Structure 1
């Protein structure tokens, strides 16, 4: 895997994306797990969308997700300057500037949209950032992955108790923390709150706890892939006031609204291939099992 990513890092973005679109096309043409998971997610989140339109969105989702995979080469193989050269526009950058000027810590909430790896490059070029990540199963690959991500200047901490403590310390010290808020947590680490049309979505409590216990500012960031290998845009979005609510469910609903706002920029570029809704309240049925996802 490391060798393949290194090879992909030697080719231009244009060719990397062409390979990714080919992979996405294959995933769409066959009854793959990726296709069927994305189909279930799209049906749940866009229940009123016409069938023809939903199928078109499904196809584009697989093509976009294929490109995200093959772009690992450029994103991890390019230098920071080469990576930054792929960034064309930063929308609502004044929100980021205001956050940097504030003495409080900043919790940067980055959904799996477009190619989120570019966030590391951009933010690290402006200020230090600590990012929580889920370690890979392979120790060798995990060490290499961390080293590649940290070469642009960010610091990575794992999803462990020690990693969480470090995030609290960074925010209390007025620093910046990056967090991927759209992964399904363990049952004890989340609350059920609405996400788009899905009324009960298990949502992580950690962002709420980080904000309440440190007094930090919340800010959303997402990445949009531009057509024809032109590069990428970054979008900033202000957090809903309810993100700071005392009630964890109210805050989780605000978190999910922020994620949905990011998704709306380019719906096909969201990671719909992830099993976001496996756990249902009151021992409800797993929708992916119900749909017979392979």
Structure 2
């Protein structure tokens, strides 16, 4: 909710426009509300990390109280994915998820406006050898990420240890997109659009790593229904096609903040073996299982506010989120 959909009120005003990262294009008064929001993010980023976490917690709790639609989506997702928890435990996880994403909003400011290298002393990296082994194959690496609350900051911390490019879904607000793209461009080698497959293949051909995520609902086009937390979930088959064409390796990775004290953990897992298999459903099942394994390390730090199970296997299947008709995607 917070990491991918910040400034949702502003973003609805703008239709999709070509990416323009020249700040001089945004001097008109209509951009002033966005500039104000950016200034507030910058100011918050200057606070000590404990102060940022406290402020993020307050924002998360406020959203938990007021954002009833997003809370409903989160409650449904938690209930579906963690049936082993009792009602009180599920409610606590919902609340903690809002807190985690509120803190994630503060961390965007660190990633965009400060030098994440200053956090190296409180960052632990696990399994970096798996990434290096995959890179030795010489055909590039897809870093299979997920929509965790540490999305931007975690990505920035990763680039302290490896060189990587990133695929992003551009923000609908052009000014916010300009700030985001320029900030990510300082950390990543290339900032590719989410549909820039040519750019993706160019990066892989140069034996580069590319941050890549599949864990959202993109509608019915080119998907199979593979289990995610035991639920048949619309999952894109593009990952298999990319690996077939490029020969790259797929390395699952994740990043989380620690609960006991300010600090972060980055995890690299071994590259998927015998992938792709030739069976799209089997491949998608492995992808979802890899992401689920990482999510379970810190369930509250995942983006449960997203309608991950919006698209159902059959058009006539009842929706989980209270809609009578399915989104056709």
User: Is 1:132 matched up with 2:167?
Assistant: yes
- Whether the 8 Å CA contact 1:17–1:229 is kept in 2: the answer is no
In structure 1, the residue matched to 2:229 is 196
In structure 2, the residue matched to 1:40 is 76
Q: Which has the higher helix share?
A: 1
- Whether the 8 Å CA contact 1:243–1:250 is kept in 2: the answer is no
The alpha-carbon distance between structure 1 residues 242 and 262, as it changes in their structure 2 partners (threshold 3 A), is farther
User: How many angstroms apart in 2 are the aligned matches of 1:17 and 1:191?
Assistant: 39
Deviation at 1:237, TM superposition (A): 1.7
User: Is 1:69 matched up with 2:110?
Assistant: no
What are the Cα deviations for residues 111-154 of structure 1, in whole angstroms up to 9, with x where unaligned? Answer: 12241223433443344322110011111211111001111243
- Whether the 8 Å CA contact 2:130–2:271 is kept in 1: the answer is no
User: How many angstroms apart in 2 are the aligned matches of 1:286 and 1:188?
Assistant: 18
Deviation at 1:243, TM superposition (A): 4.3
In structure 2, the residue matched to 1:8 is 44
User: How many angstroms apart in 1 are the aligned matches of 2:186 and 2:52?
Assistant: 21
What are the Cα deviations for residues 178-219 of structure 1, in whole angstroms up to 9, with x where unaligned? Answer: 102212223213221110121x21112222211121111110
- Normalised by the length of structure 1, the TM-score is 0.90
SS at match of 1:244: coil
User: How many angstroms apart in 2 are the aligned matches of 1:142 and 1:277?
Assistant: 27
User: How many angstroms apart in 1 are the aligned matches of 2:132 and 2:41?
Assistant: 34
User: Is 1:52 matched up with 2:85?
Assistant: no
Deviation at 1:79, TM superposition (A): 1.6
Alignment of 1:1-294 (within 5 A): 1-30=37-66, 32-87=68-123, 89-160=124-195, 163-198=196-231, 200-227=232-259, 229-241=261-273, 243-283=275-315, 284-290=317-323
User: How many angstroms apart in 1 are the aligned matches of 2:199 and 2:280?
Assistant: 22
Aligned-residue CA RMSD (Å): 2.0
- Whether the 8 Å CA contact 2:217–2:309 is kept in 1: the answer is yes
SS at match of 2:187: coil
Structure 2: stretches of 5+ with no match in the other structure: 1-36, 325-329
User: How many angstroms apart in 2 are the aligned matches of 1:76 and 1:8?
Assistant: 12
Deviation at 1:39, TM superposition (A): 0.5
SS at match of 1:71: helix
- Whether the 8 Å CA contact 2:148–2:302 is kept in 1: the answer is yes
- Whether the 8 Å CA contact 1:83–1:121 is kept in 2: the answer is no
SS at match of 1:36: helix
The size of the alignment, in residue pairs, is 287
SS at match of 1:201: strand
- Whether the 8 Å CA contact 2:117–2:160 is kept in 1: the answer is no
Deviation at 1:80, TM superposition (A): 4.1
